[in-house]
């Protein structure tokens, strides 16, 4: 059986208004962590490549940071001890769903060199701690961004 060709995409997840003093990282596979590309008091951004199976409808995202079953892929954003920080009471993981990434967005991203598929998520949960559990992503929240790497 022939392997389905894949294309590389660049994802950018921006955590807005993160809890001060709490480290965040993207979980890669089961234990590895990917640190942020941008850290400011207003946001923490993660940029990383994923692959998409070319012929799949809906798109099937693949790669070390991608978690979950094919129909419900997501990225884990770990915080506190789960992000490698010591001396903190926080140890949380948030699921950022990838379901809003459509074939139309992928095509648009691939035609704009240097662009990212970007989503913005809140940095704190309802309890005032770092985001955790499944993060609700409204329709249209994923977009193509020409933000520089």
Q: Residue 108 CA to chain centroid, in angstroms?
A: 19
Q: Given pLDDT bands bounded at 50, 70 and 90, which one contains residue 149?
A: very low
Tell whether the torsion through CA atoms of 46, 103, 110 and 65 is positive or negative: positive
The reported pLDDT for the residue numbered 2 is: 53
Residue with tokens 């946001």, as numbered in its chain: 43
- Residue ranges of the domains in the chain? 6-145
The DSSP output letter for 124 is: B
Within the chain, what is the greatest distance between any pair of CA atoms? 51
CB 119 within 8 A of CB 141: yes
Report the C-alpha gap between 36 and 47 in whole angstroms: 7
Report the C-alpha gap between 7 and 25 in whole angstroms: 24
- The per-residue pLDDT for range 67-103, each reduced to its tens digit, is 999 889 999 999 999 999 999 999 999 999 999 999 9
């Amino acid at each position: 059986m022939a392997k389905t060709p894949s294309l590389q995409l660049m994802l950018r997840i921006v955590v807005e208004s993160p809890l001060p003093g709490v480290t965040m990282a993207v979980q890669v596979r089961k234990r590895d962590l990917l640190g942020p590309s941008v850290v400011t008091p207003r946001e923490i951004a993660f940029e990383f490549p994923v692959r998409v199976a070319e012929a799949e409808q809906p798109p099937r995202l693949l790669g070390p940071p991608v978690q979950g079953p094919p129909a419900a892929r997501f990225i884990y954003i770990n915080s506190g001890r789960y992000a490698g920080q010591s001396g903190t009471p926080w140890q949380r993981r948030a699921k950022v769903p990838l379901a809003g990434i459509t074939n139309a967005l992928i095509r648009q991203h691939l035609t704009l060199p240097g662009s990212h598929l970007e989503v913005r998520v809140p940095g704190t949960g309802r309890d005032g701690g770092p985001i955790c559990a499944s993060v609700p992503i409204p329709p249209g929240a994923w977009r193509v961004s020409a933000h520089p790497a």
